[in-house]
Amino acid sequence: MPGIRKQKLTTVSVKDKLDRNKIPNHIAIIMDGNGRWAAKHGNARIFGHEKGVESVRAVVEASGEIGVKFLTLYAFSTENWGRPPEEVNALMGLLIQAIENETEKLNKNNVRLGVIGNIEQLPIDVKNKLFKCINNLKSNSGLTLILALSYSSKWEIINAVKKLAVNVQEGKILAEEINDEMFEDYLTTKGIPNPELLIRTSGEYRISNFLLWQIAYTEFYFTEKLWPDFKKEDFFEAVYNYQNRERRFGKTSEQIVS
């Protein structure tokens, strides 16, 4: 139309909208929906797990791009040992494969690797690969990628209580001295800050025994997307959503604003 200047349309990605001063330090993810994704595509469950590795790669890269310091992925729960043996074996094989294929790239991207959970229960070859990879990446200083393997929060808490009880029994600490801070030192997440944001995919609204202690004040983000469909843009969308919340920690809105 005459007189009206044509405006150039540029698409702004969610990543560009993020406030770089409000990036969560620690994001935890319950990667759910691999089985349903596979069924939807007429394939066996393991196909969904294989495809899920691509989403793992995407969120690790995305975390590095925006400066997230810790990323914890719920890769295998204590309860997952109860799945059919073929699926458990396939998942263990996939883990070994992923560690072998990704170590070099993780190293290039300055990523450190950590693990939480009852590692003793893992097959020896998985343990060996894991520890080798952790060792190879230990001097990196960018993102710390933490895999929750054979992990359950109740196991972790009971484990902590047992160790505390022994120390009280042996007179090393007094029962009255036990507080939040001390308790956190007995968890497998010792030294890792609590997550500010927890993402769960696949439209399920539950926590499934994940980081129960650590998520006391975490913001939750649930999405209908199945894990293999969860891409970088979805991850940035979750962070953007988090950035637009008011975190009150039990205080009033007025107190937070002032």
List residues with catalytic annotation: 32, 80
Closest approach of Cβ 80 to ligand FPP, in Å? Answer: 5
Query: Does position 147 bind ligand FPP by CB under 6 A?
Result: yes
Select the span of 92-100, 134-142, 184-192, 240-248 touching ligand FPP (CB under 6 A). 92-100
Q: C-alpha dihedral over 132, 134, 140, 146, to 10 degrees?
A: 160
- Dihedral pair phi/psi, residue 13, rounded to 5°: -80, 160
CA distance 169 to 150: 29
CA distance 148 to 30: 10
Closest approach of Cβ 201 to ligand FPP, in Å? Answer: 9
Dmax (CA) of the chain: 88
Closest approach of Cβ 200 to ligand FPP, in Å? Answer: 10
Query: Does position 234 bind ligand FPP by CB under 6 A?
Result: no
CA distance 94 to 126: 10
113-152 b/e (C-beta count within 10 Å ≥ 16 → b): bbbbbbbeebeeebeebbeebbeebeebebbbbbbbbbbb
Q: Specify the 3-state DSSP secondary structure of 29.
A: strand
Total of chain residues touching ligand FPP, rule CB under 6 A: 19
Each residue 187-226 as x (binds ligand FPP by CB under 6 A) or -, in order, gives ---------------x------------------------
Select the residue interacting with ligand FPP from 27, 46, 49, 60 (CB under 6 A): 49
> Sign of the CA dihedral 117, 195, 251, 241?
negative
CA distance 138 to 110: 10
| Minimal CB distance residue for ligand FPP | 35
Query: Does position 53 bind ligand FPP by CB under 6 A?
Result: yes
Select the span of 25-33, 59-67, 135-143, 215-223 touching ligand FPP (CB under 6 A). 25-33
Closest approach of Cβ 135 to ligand FPP, in Å? Answer: 18
Residue number with CB closer to ligand FPP (52 or 195): 52
Closest approach of Cβ 106 to ligand FPP, in Å? Answer: 11
Q: Which residues form the interface with ligand FPP (CB under 6 A)?
A: 31-36, 49, 52-53, 56, 73, 75, 80, 94-95, 98, 147, 202, 227
